[in-house]
Amino acid sequence: MSERPRTRRAAAPEPEPVPAAREGGRAAARASDAATGGVEAPNATRSRRREAPRERSAARRALRQPSFIGTLKALDLLSNAGAQVSVRVSDLDSGEGVLVGDDHLTLPVAGLGIVPLLIEVAAQIEARTLDPLEVLERASADPVAGAGLWQYLNARALPVSDLAVLAASASDASAANALLARVGLDAVHARVEAIGLAKIVLLDRFRDVRGPDDAPEVALASARELSAMFAAIVNAQVVSPAVSAQVGEWLTLTQDLALVGSATALDPFAHADDRHGLLFVNKTGRADGIRAEAGVIAGPRHGLSYALIVCFDDLSIAHRLRANEAFHTLGLELMEYVY
């Protein structure tokens, strides 16, 4: 794990030469101090009083400078316990890494694979090859009893735009499968390649059981590319400004704020417009032994894109809690950075 500071502290200026007369006065003041037990005369301390507030201000700024020490400790604890960890936090404007740890690793990310699917859906809608009001049958894809709400609804068919909302907000596996069956896995692969993402891949639809002939995971990604993808969405650089805006709008509906989002104190069901000016766009991925999240967080001081992937031995509740705690710690330190 490595943490890189955002800025380098400027070298302190060389002190100006002190005139001999002034130095003599200071020597006399020091001699007087010795005679009076270290209590300086008022004239001798006047210049120090002028400098002290400036020094205290610099010290306070240094104390306020956020760090990711807690996150690094939490991730080291997970790594020492055998988990695979990948993390990337970048400046939203420059892309410069603020926190980097094995961000090149390609790891399973479960439901985060919905994001490239949403990008393809939005791109086809913009190109008018897909009608957002086209109705898709739930039976158009193999049934799945994983995450989501559609499986509990009486409506057996929904329009494309509604399915995109379900997939983004509730990681709805049935909705994602219906969209994937409509736009095609090959089209998603081509879109991801076209926008320059080499380590983000949607491998397969969601399944209740994975057989020997199925892809071993739903999706794979690296923290570096996930962070870059979310920054590009927010900065209107994915496919087109309209596609970026549509995908961003869907992702602002994400209701899973239990990981990094737990530190934001946002309402999980209504956080698109925060009264305190906090921008938070995220998507999580969850499966047995997998916790992943990527997003953008921006406040009055800074804007950051981030991604954290943890793959661990899901042997007990304690193992899950330890993984979740790393996300909570990252969320707190992200909030300290942007506010």
Q: Is 317 helix (H, G, I), strand (E, B) or coil?
A: helix
- pLDDT for 7: 34
CB 303 within 8 A of CB 92: yes
The domains of the chain, with CATH numbers, are: 27-61 (no CATH), 69-338 (3.40.710.10)
Predicted confidence at residue 65, as pLDDT, reads 56
In the prediction, which pLDDT does 66 show? Answer: 65
Give the C-alpha separation, 188 to 180, whole Å.
8
pLDDT at position 61 is: 44
**Alpha-carbon span 104 to 217, nearest angstrom:** 18
Here the tokens at position 23 are 């130095």
Q: What digits encode the pLDDT tens for the residues 234-259?
A: 999 999 999 999 999 999 999 999 99
**Amino acid (one-letter) located at 206:** F
- The 8-class DSSP code of residue 282 comes to E
How do residues 43-96 score in pLDDT, each as one tens digit? 443 343 344 445 544 444 444 456 899 999 999 999 999 999 999 999 999 999
Residues of the chain whose pLDDT is less than 70?
Answer: 1-66
Q: What is the dihedral of CA 152, 264, 112, 108, to 10 degrees?
A: -120
Residue 148: both structure tokens together: 């989501």
Look at residue 226 and give its three-state secondary structure: helix
Residues 6+ apart with CB under 8 A from 196: none
- The distance from CA 322 to its chain's CA centroid, rounded to whole angstroms, is 19
CB neighbour class for 80 (10 Å; exposed up to 12, middle 13-18, buried from 19): exposed
Closest by CA to 85, choosing from 315, 327, 328, 334, is 327
Tokens of 276: 């305190």
Per-residue pLDDT tens over the stretch 222-238: 999 999 999 999 999 99
3-state SS class at 60: helix
Query: What pLDDT, on the 0 to 100 scale, is given for residue 192?
Result: 97
**Rounded to an integer, what distance in angstroms lies between the CA atom of residue 145 and that of residue 166?**
15
Q: Please tell me whether residue 157 adopts helix, strand or coil conformation.
A: strand
Report pTM.
0.80
Beta bridge partners of 297: 280, 304
